[in-house]
Amino acid sequence: MTYNIDLQITVENCYTPSRTKLEQWVTETLLPYKKEAEICIRLVNETESAFLNETYRKKTGPTNILSFPSEIPDDLPLKQSFLGDLVICPSVLENEAQQQNKSLEAHWAHIVIHGLLHLLGYDHVEEKPAEVMEGLEIQILKILGYPNPYEQQGE
């Protein structure tokens, strides 16, 4: 299995998980679905996040993560399949982790896994698919040693 991560950091003075952690999260999430893939993870400021959120989702303001599945045709002769892009706004993640009383690393793991599941085609717009997606997130996070992100932490 080979997962190539193109990590693009465009912001300074923010927590960034180690490459080892990112690779663990990517591997645990993708392994049941793909034996090899390439993804881009781009860390951006709130201005870029808000611009992309408005442009592609028609929603105002920055968001924690945006997932852009690849639209490369399957019949192109690539060495690896390009799964897509994850655009993460670290400052939003930091604020959420504080507000939700979660460890920053656990919240990062959850958001990266959440984004990867979107790249694989999972969604949470409707109730049943949302339950499936949340169940997968909880299961993957548990394997990695993180708590259920949907339970209140620290109470």
Does 150 map to a domain? no
**Largest alpha-carbon pair distance within the chain?**
52
Q: Which residues contact 35 (CB under 8 A, 6 or more apart)?
A: 1, 2
Arithmetic mean of pLDDT over the chain: 92
Other CB atoms within 10 Å distance of the CB of residue 5? 15
CATH number at residue 59: 3.40.390.30
Count of domains forming the chain: 1
Other CB atoms within 10 Å distance of the CB of residue 107? 21
pLDDT value for 79: 61
Containing structural domain, residue 127: 2-143
- pTM across the whole model: 0.92
Does 99 map to a domain? yes
- Better-scored residue on pLDDT, 127 or 114: 114
List pLDDT tens digits, range 62-100. Answer: 999 999 999 876 666 666 688 999 999 999 999 999 999
List pLDDT tens digits, range 19-41. Answer: 999 999 999 999 999 988 999 99
pLDDT value for 80: 61
pLDDT value for 1: 76
